[in-house]
Amino acid sequence: MAGTKTPPGTAENGPDRVAGGPSSRPTGPTSRRRARTRATTSPARMAALLVSPTLLVLSIVVLYPTLMALQESLYGTKGLDPKTGFIRTSEPFVGLRNYTDILGPAGDRFWNAFWNTSFFTVVTVGAETVIGVAMALIMHRAFRGRALARAGILVPWAVPTAISALLWRWIFNSNGIANAVIGHQILWTTEGFHAKVAVIVAEVWKTAPFIGLLVLAGLQVIPKEVYEAARIDGASAPRQFWHITLPLVKPALLVAVLFRCLDALRMFDLPYILVGAQKNSVETLSMLAQNEASNVRFGPASAYAMLLFLYVFLIALAFVRLLGADLVGGAARGGESRRRRRRMTVPRRAEVTA
Amino acid sequence: MKTKTSRAMGCSALLAAAGLLLSACGSSGDGGSGQTGSTSFQGRGPITYAAGKDATGVTPKVIARWNELHPKEKVTYIQLPTDADSQRQQMIQNAETKSDAYTVLSLDVVWTSEFAAHQWIDRLPENQFPLQKMLKPVVETARYRGGLYAAPASSDGGLLYYRTDLMDKAGITAPPTTWSEMTNDCAQVKKKVPAAKGMSCYAGQLQKYEGLTVNFAEAVNSAGGVVTDANGKPDVDTPAARKGLDFLAGSVKDGTIPKEALTYQEEDGRQAFQAGKVMFLRNWPYMYSLAEKSPVAGKFAVAPLPGLDGPGSSSLGGHNLALSSFAKNKATALDFMKFFSSEDSATTFLKDASLAPAYADLYNTPSLVGKYPYLPVLKQSILHAVPRPRVVAYGDVTSAIQQEAYAVLTGTKSSAQALKDLQSDLQKATAQ
């Protein structure tokens, strides 16, 4: 249903945008205007036709599940019939109660998970950005053994999260390396702030290379001449970094940070395996939704998932709108600063978004 | 771009509303039609058996034997993940979609109530299974509201592993039967045996996971309390239960249980015992043969779990066979369940995979006892065992227990407050 409806919607959009709204309005039908409309309609139709398979697939694998989850989130938990001892076969419709519940006492767990998720995102992405940029700078330098350094830095990113969580669980074992190194026994996998620290360390270790990789791609397209000119002008290395490298690598960096934020917001496997399920200190929204679903409460689980979806969506939107992260190449929507920067980013974009 | 997004969003909102209306109409029709009457076990043909991966390789062997005898009713072994939570997850997913992919399910003993209440599994005819030959607590785990919903296939009970060499050196002849005896013995050993100076006394599975529920329930039951009463109603806010929990919490506090035991699962505890770090360890029988191959081989023995005033009571582990409600060829399935849970099969599983049987007399068979010396002790453990709470919302119950017990063990909550909170959580979880 969704699949068949969307393409006409966009087809309708096409002429609006390209030929301008007036085409459909009866504002003096001159022959020139009509000709223009006809000329632009058929390419637009063609375009709509060409993207329709994509839209169809997207609506099946993205839109439909999302709508199903939204619908499910309006239903409650199947109740137990005390007479027969059986669970009732249908879920009661509860409207928005699953959502309003988070404002009541039952919301404690949700808000705890919400703050954990936010905390992990801010701290890990912050640390990863700093470390990732440093890694990129190192990888970018020409020195002996550069290939080895590059490969070495990328290894953690190549390790599957579940495996790296197991690795770190050994490291953070009560008799593990971490405790041996600091010479003091901390029970990392018990409740408490140290559990958060363990997750953050493992997460940063694993994903800083991702930022490093994307930033490296951004670094490689900065023309050497810019640096040469700066050197001739007598700019110091830190100055070059702040005034040349950082601004020029910003589009790539923003995309990397955005991706990492979205990833971190739905963090699940690392705390789940490293520290364990149902540990308040590290429970994220994904873990909470999974826990509800595994206890056969699909309604609340969907509600939590929808809230997480909304949260992620808002963050992504904020990135695109406020920081101007350029996800879709050439989607610049005007604005003085944007247009100015656009000149710089055009050649690079192909590499970043490829 | 802007108009496009907002338009698309408007469009999807419309669609969502339409979808809601449709499904609301759709789901209102089938409400309230419960399953009534008994199941007829009809249909013969190929079926499947869904169970966790069997590292010992005995399950495929037993199934092969069945397939030889019944070439027209072959059983296919569907291997689920080793992790119990994932097994349950897959079985529930199958049930929710009413798939007939799984015929016979190997259920963990604590899942029976949930699966029965959701009518994911069929009620079984009692006269088809030799229940009177099985240990009574084991059969209880297969019941829901008096009806038999599963066939007991294997069992498991907790044992107290202890170091005989150290006890001998300290001149102690018998294993402790109470908690205070255990701590006394430990002090004696530490005083008389220099090698035991740095050892800890006791450990169990106290990490925040299912093992904590087991250890908590055992402590409460061993002190004369209950988590849920005979009718499944929570009754955990009692002085007896508090004594049980206080034993665990107090032991962690005074060092009888090492602090790091708060991170122990079964394997961590085993490693610690084998490395000579703990004197007494609560663990399952699986550990026996592994410890026999470790540095403590020949230096340890097992005893029933100690309690407050006398022998304690264990929780129950093990698996039961259940029949999926949505399966085909149920006549074959019933026959296969009888075969798979028979005394013959149980003997094979005990011999080759050291799975504790449900049948009472196997525990006294001399040849088997020769191979597994812990069997008589295990029988006592299982006979005095109290199953973990048999409730529909077991997932909620166990997570509430873990939450409160862990808070007490880590010293963030008093045992009195925790039990009070636990009682109200359990009431909520069992009321539904």
Residue B94 sits in a domain whose CATH number is 3.40.190.10
Residue A5: pLDDT above 60? Answer: no
Select A110-308's CATH number: 1.10.443.10, 1.10.3720.10, 3.40.50.300, 3.50.50.60. 1.10.3720.10
Residue A212: band (very low, low, confident or very high) from pLDDT cuts 50, 70, 90: very high
Query: CB-based contact (8 Å) between A291 and chain B?
Result: yes
- The reply to whether B416 and B356 lie within a common domain is no
Residue A70: its pLDDT value, please? 94
* A61/A59 Cα distance (integer angstroms): 6
Which range is most confident: A73-82, A167-176, A340-349? A167-176
- The reply to whether B230 and B328 lie within a common domain is no
Interface contact B410-A279, CB threshold 8 A = no
Q: DSSP letters of B345-378?
A: HHHHHHHHH-PBPSBSGGGG-HHHHHH-TTHHHH
Residue A347: pLDDT above 50? Answer: no
Q: Which amino acid is at B68?
A: E
- The reply to whether B98 and B215 lie within a common domain is no
Residue B39: band (very low, low, confident or very high) from pLDDT cuts 50, 70, 90: low
In a domain, B268, yes or no: yes
Token pair for A91 = 């879920």
- Higher per-residue pLDDT: A212 or A1: A212
In a domain, B14, yes or no: no
- The reply to whether B264 and B320 lie within a common domain is no
- Kindly list the distances between the CA atom of residue B279 and the CA atoms of A99, B55, B158, B186, B265, in Å, as whole numbers in the listed order: 51, 29, 16, 7, 17
In a domain, B16, yes or no: no
- The reply to whether B305 and B411 lie within a common domain is yes
Residue A201: its pLDDT value, please? 96
Residues of B in contact with A68 (CB under 8 A): 19
Tell me the β-bridge partners of B234. B228
Interface contact A9-B11, CB threshold 8 A = yes
Q: pLDDT digits over A172-200, tens only? A: 999 899 999 999 899 999 999 999 999 99
Residue A329: its pLDDT value, please? 57
Residue A37: its pLDDT value, please? 54
Task: Look at chain A and count its residues.
Answer: 354
Q: Which of A71, A185, A279 sits opposite B19 (nearest CB)?
A: A71
Query: CB-based contact (8 Å) between A54 and chain B?
Result: no
Residue A83: its pLDDT value, please? 82
Residue A78: its pLDDT value, please? 87
Q: Taking a contact as any Cβ pair under 8 Å apart, which residues of chain A between 257 and 286 contact chain B?
A: 276-280
Residue A71: pLDDT above 90? Answer: yes
Residues B135/B129, Cβ–Cβ less than 8 Å: no
Residue B85: band (very low, low, confident or very high) from pLDDT cuts 50, 70, 90: confident
- The reply to whether B402 and B370 lie within a common domain is no
**Mean pLDDT for the stretch of residues B297-326:** 95
**Mean pLDDT for the stretch of residues B186-192:** 94
Interface contact A87-B119, CB threshold 8 A = yes
Q: Which of A2, A17, A79 sits opposite B15 (nearest CB)?
A: A2
Interface contact B208-A191, CB threshold 8 A = yes
Q: What are phi and psi of B427, to 5 degrees?
A: -60, -40
* A198/A189 Cα distance (integer angstroms): 8
- Kindly list the distances between the CA atom of residue B132 and the CA atoms of A155, B25, B138, B170, B230, in Å, as whole numbers in the listed order: 59, 50, 11, 44, 21
Pairing label, strands B278-283, B200-203: parallel
**Mean pLDDT for the stretch of residues B185-197:** 93
Residue B40: band (very low, low, confident or very high) from pLDDT cuts 50, 70, 90: confident
Residue B432: band (very low, low, confident or very high) from pLDDT cuts 50, 70, 90: low
Residue B36: band (very low, low, confident or very high) from pLDDT cuts 50, 70, 90: very low
Considering chain A, tell me which residue range(s) the CATH 1.10.3720.10 domain(s) occupy: 110-308
Q: Into how many domains does chain B fold?
A: 2
Residues B112/B143, Cβ–Cβ less than 8 Å: yes
- CA angle B317–B323–B328, rounded 5-degree value: 155
Tell me the β-bridge partners of B303. B160
Containing B53, the helix (H) or strand (E) segment is none
Query: CB-based contact (8 Å) between A313 and chain B?
Result: no
3-state helix, strand, coil in chain A (%, to 5): 75, 0, 25
Q: pLDDT digits over B229-252, tens only? A: 888 899 999 999 999 999 999 999
**Mean pLDDT for the stretch of residues B170-195:** 94
Best of B3, B118, B123, B397 to disrupt the A interface (most A CBs within 10 Å) is B118
* Domain, as residue range, for B329: 47-157+316-383
- The reply to whether B176 and B302 lie within a common domain is yes
Q: pLDDT digits over A137-182, tens only? A: 988 887 788 888 888 888 999 999 999 999 999 999 998 999 999 9
Residue B135: pLDDT above 80? Answer: yes
- The reply to whether B234 and B100 lie within a common domain is no
Interface contact B12-A17, CB threshold 8 A = no
Q: Exposed, middle or buried by CB within 10 Å (0-12, 13-18, 19+), for A310?
A: exposed
- The reply to whether B139 and B269 lie within a common domain is no
Token pair for A89 = 């076969």
- The reply to whether B200 and B302 lie within a common domain is yes
Residues 6+ apart with CB under 8 A from A34: none
Q: pLDDT digits over B374-395, tens only? A: 999 999 999 999 999 999 999 9
- The reply to whether B139 and B165 lie within a common domain is no
Q: Exposed, middle or buried by CB within 10 Å (0-12, 13-18, 19+), for B285?
A: buried
Residue A2: pLDDT above 70? Answer: no
In a domain, B264, yes or no: yes
Q: Which of A187, A291, A333 sits opposite B262 (nearest CB)?
A: A187
**Mean pLDDT for the stretch of residues B1-16:** 41
For all residues of chain A together, what is the average pLDDT?
A: 82
Residue B185: band (very low, low, confident or very high) from pLDDT cuts 50, 70, 90: very high
- The reply to whether B343 and B275 lie within a common domain is no
* B60/B67 Cα distance (integer angstroms): 10
Q: Which of B27, B396, B432 sits opposite A79 (nearest CB)?
A: B432
Residue A354: its pLDDT value, please? 34
Query: CB-based contact (8 Å) between A91 and chain B?
Result: yes
* A109/A115 Cα distance (integer angstroms): 10
